[in-house]
Amino acid sequence: MKPLNPFFSRSYISLRLSRKQSVFISTFLILTILCFSISCSYYNVRNVATTQEEISTGVNEFNKADKYVILHFDALQWHISDMVISEDDQTIKGTLKPVSKEHQFVGKKTINRTKKSKKSNDTLSQNLSTRDSKRTHRYNPKKLQPLNEVHFYLKNNYNYENYQMVSIPLSEINRISVNDKNTGRAVANVLLGTVGTIFVAALLYAALKSSCPFVYVKNGEEYYFIGELYPGTITPNMQKDDYLQLPPCELENDEYVLKITNYLKEIQYTDVVQLVRFIHDEDVEVLLDSQGKLQTFKNIIAPREVTLDDGLKSIEPALEKDGDFYAFNTTLKTENSTRHIVLDFAKPNHAKQMKLYLTTKNSVWLDYAFGKFNEQFGQYYNTFQKKQQKVSNDSIRAWANKQHIPLSVYLKTTNGWKLIERISTVGPMAMRDLVVPIPLNEVVQGNVQIKLETGFMFWEVDYVGMDFSENVDLTPEYISPYEAIDQNGEEVTKLITKHDQNYLVQPNIGDEVTVTFKVKEPKPESKQSFFLKNRGYYNYIRDYKGIPDFETLKSFKKDHAFTQFSEKRYFDFVNFNVNELAYYE
């Protein structure tokens, strides 16, 4: 099974941990993950370092993994051989060599730092261009060997030479990235010193991530991670239809195959899954909105301006699906701990409909903060969770809205900002493409302004566009599972074929079910889009200790309380006094 690719990108404020040891542990957590993820077992991470003894063991494991490490500063590149990590002075040590031909990324020519070395036929920085220019690359395995590479990006230039022994402080490493060995589809980028680095590693290692079933789709002989089912649905009363976009893939025997898995400390209850297929022209893109209604796209227009809540103009993250996202983390201090961005679109005269296109996900920080909130219940938590199962959906949603957990979409009208939709949580592990229909009749002539608002660092928005074309009339094809086999070889098809609350229950880490749908290939000139309609809920398995402080817990009933709790936790963690670096709205 293909590993999950946690994608950490930059945030607009580089809020770095103040303790050197935190940076070291952050770095080492990444290296530990790389050792195991490259061996196709991300979910089986072991020995995440927290003590000096564990760090020493982990470093040895990393060195045994025989990675090809490439050091970068701007266009300059070196291979660092015989690499070791020094615990005493928190440095990476090794010998610099030219990047060998089988590890050179061929693209636009960059500067030459040195001529050919007498000791090697390789050149240092000739015909090399950034791997980050796009997220997916083809390569010829007969000429290139990119799959065991680890890339370290430096903050500063130290005028290194070939065959020089170097000692690089970990604090000078800006980020690390690795080529995905299994899928070849993406480059996972990691920023050191950011909170997400530590928490994704720690949460997955402890299996305490607050998430939902992971979905993998079979393409050829391999399974690829796609996303999560019924995200945020933690009680039976919250259940609603969810629509997870699926990729087209190679069909064998007219079968579309996927896996639904439990890799976390939770009990998952899946009521129904159904494949939804649309066949359409090549120039049409298809999404389903939150109500399951078809929305089509033929001409997505970029915003002409994007303004952050602190007044900064920043349009670049909206333009591409590239991991450069809006993190809702400006230093603006607000009374309710929310952040927002405003997007300005030009409305064409011929506009027929208006559909906002978003590529987004929840942040790992929201996941962590919600876990810390639950931890406040201590030994009372399981009793609290049991009582929550009977609380109405309206009550739970109302609390979440008052804590600014959804991503709220507003339209600027002649009467001010109007709430159009609150987007429910989608999970932190994979971006989702979402659509929000916008009422055309309430738009100010010639200009469309959209505001996205949420709690501090609760969401990440990677791409935004608007389509004004009329929806194409397409007929959905609903396909029920042909077969569903669990990890014990038992057939469980009847449990997930209809909405009857007769659940497929996955109570243990490692539980999985392989679901097969019978699908006929369309005509060659047609394109097909798939969605997985799903419904269910999940409960956490936790063993919190301690006596709960009920007075503190009661305070979370107040508006904005969780949002303010989360923001304070963040700045406490990174040792920043927000009042010293923030200004007030």
Residues 247 and 379 in one domain: no
The Cα–Cα gap between 407 and 292 comes to 18
* Average pLDDT of the residues in 71-96: 81
Give 424-478 pLDDT, tens digit per residue: 999 988 899 999 999 988 887 778 999 999 999 999 999 999 999 999 999 999 9
Residues 263 and 303 in one domain: no
Mean pLDDT of all residues belonging to the chain: 78
Give 200-224 pLDDT, tens digit per residue: 444 444 455 556 889 999 988 888 8
Q: Would you state the pLDDT for residue 131? A: 61
Residues 51 and 191 in one domain: yes
Residue-range definition of the domain harbouring residue 318 = 285-471+549-584
Is residue 460 situated within a structural domain?
Answer: yes
H/E element, 564 = helix 561-573
Residues 337 and 458 in one domain: yes
Q: Would you state the pLDDT for residue 87? A: 59
> Who wins on pLDDT, 349 or 489?
489
> Who wins on pLDDT, 209 or 356?
356
What does each C-alpha distance from 412 to 217, 242, 303, 409, 440 come to in angstroms? 40, 28, 15, 10, 12
Q: Would you state the pLDDT for residue 183? A: 32
Residues 334 and 435 in one domain: yes
Q: Would you state the pLDDT for residue 494? A: 97
Is residue 369 situated within a structural domain?
Answer: yes
Judged by average pLDDT, the poorest of 32-36, 169-173, 174-178, 464-468 is 32-36
* Average pLDDT of the residues in 2-17: 31
Q: Is 213 helix (H, G, I), strand (E, B) or coil?
A: coil
Identify which of 10, 4, 45 has the alpha carbon closest to the alpha carbon of residue 28.
45
Is residue 151 situated within a structural domain?
Answer: yes
Give me the number of domains the chain comprises.
3
Contact 434, 423 (CB under 8 A): yes
CA atoms within 13 Å, Cβ hemisphere of 101: 7
Q: Is 208 helix (H, G, I), strand (E, B) or coil?
A: coil
Whether 3 has a pLDDT exceeding 50, the answer reads: no
Residues 301 and 330 in one domain: yes
The Cα–Cα gap between 356 and 345 comes to 10
Q: Would you state the pLDDT for residue 132? A: 60
H/E element, 381 = helix 381-388
Q: Would you state the pLDDT for residue 273? A: 97
CA atoms within 13 Å, Cβ hemisphere of 230: 25
pLDDT tier at 180, thresholds 50, 70, 90? low
Name the H helices within 46-192. Answer: 52-64
Identify which of 2, 6, 13 has the alpha carbon closest to the alpha carbon of residue 310.
13
Residues 498 and 443 in one domain: no
Give 22-78 pLDDT, tens digit per residue: 344 344 434 443 443 333 333 222 222 333 343 334 344 555 566 788 888 887 888
DSSP-assigned letter for residue 525: T
Longest dimension (CA), the chain: 75
Residues 301 and 412 in one domain: yes
The Cα–Cα gap between 403 and 2 comes to 35
